[in-house]
Homo-oligomer: A and B are copies of this chain.
Amino acid sequence: MTWRALEDRCWRLARGLVELGVSPGDRVAFLGFNSHRLFECYYVPSRIGAISVPVNIRYAAHEMAGVLADCAPKVLFADTAHWELARQMQRETGIAFLIHADDGPAPEGAAVSHDAIADASGHGPDCDPEGGEDIRMLGSAGQDVAMLFYTGGTTGRPKGVMLSHTALFTNALGAIPIYGFRDREAQLLSGPMFHLGSGSRVFTAPLLQNLTVIVPRFEPALALQAIETHRIAAVQMVPTMLQMLLDHPDFGRHDLSSLRLVSYGAAVMPQALLARVMEALPGISFCQAFGMTECAPVVTALPPAEHYPGSKTLGTIGTPVRHVDMRIVDEAGCDVARGATGEIIVRGPNVMNGYWNQPELTAQALRGGWYHTGDAAWMDDTGFVHLAGRTVEMIVTGGENVYPVETENALALHPAVSEVAVFGLPDARWGERVHAVIRLRAGMQTDAAQLTAFCRGLVAGYKLARSYSFCNEALPQTNVGKIDKARLRREALQQTSALA
């Protein structure tokens, strides 16, 4: 598909939404695997002032309903694989229209199909000076909210991160020299496009005129084949995906000589894995990005020039990118001394407008004009930033963020569970895994398999505990009466190392 064809399709889709009654400020959501249609849905809603919401397909149904009730889209695009789920969501949350965004005929319940609109005739308003003025007046721009991305929250209530055109555009423009992206090279989108890790590449693509190859979802065999077939130069992976690629039996059987740049992020990269990747893919540039959805997303980067065997900076998250102001502060908001640990706070045109419908949480997160990341870090003498844990407890597993309270709430519903504490433990495959400590109710029994089966459907699969410990005594408490997770985590780590 040419850029011109994409541009025309987007305008026709925008007109189609207007005909369905979508107005400026309305939300338009997308539920499905990666596709060129999801790529289009990044761009279409804001052309008429609406807000695009790519939905995480991994949510359990009741979590998804919570998100959709929160943002209340007027239109939901969905692919065939998620069509029945979309219909359920429509019934539960009152979405006005479903649009079928897939190949084949539109199934029951579809107001219209994506391609029926996109494939119609007619050009964008810029090629059609007679007829285009009206629709262009609707478009949002600058600080207007262009997209909502949902992330977990410490309270269990999901947070809709409001990102403006300025934020998304600044991240895209600023990324180019950081990663060393090149014009017109082929890129692969294999990570989930409902996250900004891959989603941000939707916005760099037209700036760079990248041939963009999209695979429906990450599977090592699909990704390896796509790299070979389309002579892919640039890929982006979370560490878990890189490991799955390397471990795949076909890894050595594919021609990966077109690869030029591998960027990684969204989770801590184990140094052993990085060394293995650099050895397996010699002569390739690597770039690490650190950030979060609230920053659209990049905050710091470790550029290709720092990636060489023996580099002392490989264990850091690099330096702040040029378009952000970053500070490391103490609890009073004052800069800590170089070398001391504090919280990373960020200011810049890339920072979110706030959380959808949550003004108090927004004011708290953006207090003093700075976004408070909840990540603890320190800066060394050379200006490189070292992560030092999180000031709020959050588990990053396979590139997804899990707030323990969500898993704890699900487990607590099980009749055999008296007390529960969830935290992250290091994991060779997932970076961190979700671990649960369970105090059994007196006289009752259960096991890991039963608990996981019980929670499946209550929370997204990536939020399920992957390991458990059981006990019959009360869980230890801190001196303010909260469960002492730090102590439980230390004990779990000792057990693990004793086993190894």
Contact = CB atoms under 8 A, between A and B. Distances in A.
Contacts of A349: 142, 166, 169
A322 B133 CA distance: 24
Contacts of A327: 126
A1 interface: no
Given A129-B334, A322-B208, A369 B136 contact: yes
A368 B133 contact: yes
A427 interface: no
Nearest to A179: B177
A222 interface: no
A156 interface: no
Nearest to A143: B142
A333 interface: yes
Contact of A207 (B126, B323, B369): B323
A349 B177 CA distance: 19
Contacts of A129: 332-334, 368
A127 interface: yes
Interface string A334-351: 110000000000000100
A124 to B, nearest CB: 11
Contacts of A409: none
A413 B450 CA distance: 98
A322 B166 contact: no
A208 B174 CA distance: 12
A229 B176 CA distance: 33
A134 to B, nearest CB: 12
Nearest to A208: B322
A361 interface: no
A160 B164 CA distance: 29
Given A136-B369, A349-B142, A335 B169 contact: no
Contacts of A133: 368
Contact of A335 (B127, B136, B332): B127
Interface in A154-177: 166, 169-170, 173-174, 176-177
Given A166-B349, A176-B176, 16 more contacts: A126-B327, A126-B335, A127-B335, A129-B332, A129-B333, A129-B334, A129-B368, A136-B369, A142-B349, A143-B143, A166-B166, A169-B170, A170-B170, A170-B173, A176-B322, A207-B323
28 contacts: A126-B327, A126-B335, A127-B335, A129-B333, A129-B334, A129-B368, A133-B368, A136-B369, A142-B143, A142-B166, A142-B349, A143-B143, A166-B349, A169-B170, A169-B349, A170-B170, A170-B173, A173-B173, A173-B174, A173-B322, A173-B323, A176-B176, A176-B177, A176-B322, A177-B177, A207-B322, A207-B323, A208-B322
Contacts of A332: 129
Contacts of A176: 176-177, 322
A322 B369 CA distance: 29
Interface string A173-204: 11011000000000000000000000000000
Nearest to A176: B177
A368 B143 CA distance: 20
A322 B159 CA distance: 32
Nearest to A127: B335
Nearest to A183: B322
Nearest to A181: B177
Contacts of A143: 142-143
A170 B349 CA distance: 10
A166 B173 CA distance: 13
Nearest to A137: B369
A143 B143 CA distance: 8
Interface in A97-155: 126-127, 129, 133, 136, 142-143
Contacts of A322: 173, 176, 207-208
Contacts of A334: 127, 129
Q: Which of A136, A207, A322, A323 has the most B CB atoms < 10 Å from its CB?
A: A322
Interface string A384-399: 0000000000000000
Nearest to A370: B126
A335 B349 CA distance: 33
A353 B222 CA distance: 48
Interface in A54-111: none
Contacts of A369: 136
A354 to B, nearest CB: 15
